[in-house]
Amino acid sequence: MKYYIFYFSLFLILFSSNIAKSQKSVRDSSITIPSISINYGYHFGFGDIGNTYGNNHAIGSEFTLKLKSQFILGVGGEYYFSENVKNQDSYFTNIKTANGNIIDNGGLYSEIFLYQRGFNIQVFTGYQFSKWSPNVNSGPFVQVGAGIMQYRTQIHDQNNSAPQLKDEYGKLYDRLSNGFSVTQLIGYRHMGNKNIANFYLGIEFTEAWTKNRRSYNADLDPNENLQHFDFLVGLKLGWMIPFYRRAPQEYYY
């Protein structure tokens, strides 16, 4: 999954280049604007994901189609990453020594680090209001989306020397979870008159109903409820690349 954002963005660039053919101006009237964006977000975690990982960062990409009617359609994804893994003492309880260490294949203590990794992919729709803006193609907007969220604990063996955590064995401890998610975004989109500064800023809310997908978790109680409710609240900032030809300047002599 670590390279999906690059390939996703490349596809959208090629796709969008075939959409935008006519000459248009954002300052004159509401127009259809296809665009791709690269975004960054910082999320505060609540619910089960907050109890397990806390806050996280996100980078992502979106394809957005803002119609003349001011309705919005799009598809996008975010990649989650964080070093905030809580309750680390609860990991590897069945393979740790009495003092809480893991012995590697050389008889030494392994250096094990835990990270959060995940993603959220969604399709969305919304509406943009042409208020408090320099042109009718900018303004406050609201979006709602639906998709799939997935996350896990990435286990990093510093010296790659602990056979207990290699390959399929590591999946016994990563707590892989995924499920249906819904997202709401409230923000402001700015389309520059000179097609230079195009960005959006907003507050994002994500709710997900996820489930642990491992058939066996070596260090969890089999009777533990592995159904989760996850809630993220965050700030999101995106830089947009619109695809349309600017209308020619008029000169008078």
Residue 195: predicted pLDDT: 63
Gap between the Cα atoms of 196 and 190, Å rounded:
10
The pLDDT of residue 29 is: 77
HSE (CB half, 13 Å, CA atoms) of 253? 0
Which ranges of the chain have pLDDT less than 50?
12-23, 248-253
Task: Report pTM.
Answer: 0.83
Q: How high is the pLDDT of residue 59?
A: 98
Q: What is the pLDDT of residue 127?
A: 97
What pLDDT sits at residue 249? 47
| Residue 215 contacts residue 172 (beta carbons within 8 Å) | no
CA distance 190 to 26: 11
Show the tokens assigned to 67: 């119609």
Q: For each of the domains in the chain, give its residue range(s) and CATH number, in order of start.
A: 4-246 (2.40.160.20)
Other beta carbons within 10 Å of 119: 21
Nearest by Cα to 22 from 12, 30, 32: 32
- C-alpha distances (whole Å) from 192 to each of 6, 195, 199, 238, 241 are 25, 5, 9, 14, 11
